[in-house]
Amino acid sequence: IWHEPTDDFVLRRNYFYSGLYHQHIRRYFDHFQKDQLKVILFDELKNNPEKTIKETLEFLEVDPDFPIDSQAQHNVSGVTNSRFIKWLYKKPNFWVDSIRGFIPKAIRRQVEILLRKRSFQKPRMKNSTRRRIIEAYRSEIEALEALLDKDLSGWLSVKDD
């Protein structure tokens, strides 16, 4: 039986499709030589940012000693239980918008970073959800592992709470 896909269905399908890394990256390998591409895993960047940045700069034939701040975090997300923080981030917010012009941007940015660090926490995914996702992507992860010749076994494991 055919039915019109709901926005939720389309959204879920698009999220799933965007996670098919092997399919996406393979297309590049179909058109470029392997030595022309550098695939950087988030895990590599997170676990060893300085080394990963240096290797990337070398790959790009840029001075590998060029100073880059690898500690800066942008677009940090999370959830908060603070009613005040939720109020601050509510859009539109007349009070916040009114004082914005009186506080220099650099100070506003520092306050925002501090509030996010202290008030926002990343929610933990349930292990049952993680297992379902792993099973949905298992063949894709294994194919990507072979394509990149990198150990992705950590992507296939569930850490117990």
Model confidence pLDDT, tens digit, residues 16-26: 899 999 999 99
Please check the confidence at residue 125 and state whether its pLDDT lies above 50.
yes
pLDDT in tens, 63-112: 998 888 777 777 677 888 888 888 877 778 888 888 888 888 888 888 87
pLDDT in tens, 54-63: 999 999 999 9
The mean pLDDT of 5-9, rounded to a whole number, is: 56
For residue 72, which phi and psi values (nearest 5 degrees)?
-65, 135
Model pLDDT, residue 9? 56
Please check the confidence at residue 8 and state whether its pLDDT lies above 70.
no
The three-state (H, E, C) secondary structure of the chain, written as one string? CCCCCCHHHHHHHHHHHHCCHHHHHHHHHHHCCHHHCCCCCHHHHHHCHHHHHHHHHHHCCCCCCCCCCCCCCCCCCCECCCHHHHHHHCCCCHHHHHHHCCCCHHHHHHHHHHHHHHHCECCCCCHHHHHHHHHHHHHHHHHHHHHHCCCCHHHHCCCCC
- Whole-angstrom distance, CA of residue 108 vs CA of residue 88: 12
Q: How many other C-beta atoms can be found within 10 angstroms of the C-beta atom of residue 21?
A: 19
- Whole-angstrom distance, CA of residue 23 vs CA of residue 19: 9
Mean pLDDT rounded to a whole number for the chain = 85
- Whole-angstrom distance, CA of residue 44 vs CA of residue 28: 20
User: Which band of pLDDT confidence, cut at 50, 70 and 90, is reported for residue 10?
Assistant: low
Chain centroid to Cα 145, Å, comes to: 19
Judging by beta carbons within 10 Å of its beta carbon (0-12, 13-18, 19+), is residue 22 exposed, middle or buried?
buried
Residue corresponding to tokens 């942008």: 74
Q: Which pTM was predicted?
A: 0.68
Model pLDDT, residue 2? 41
Please check the confidence at residue 143 and state whether its pLDDT lies above 90.
yes
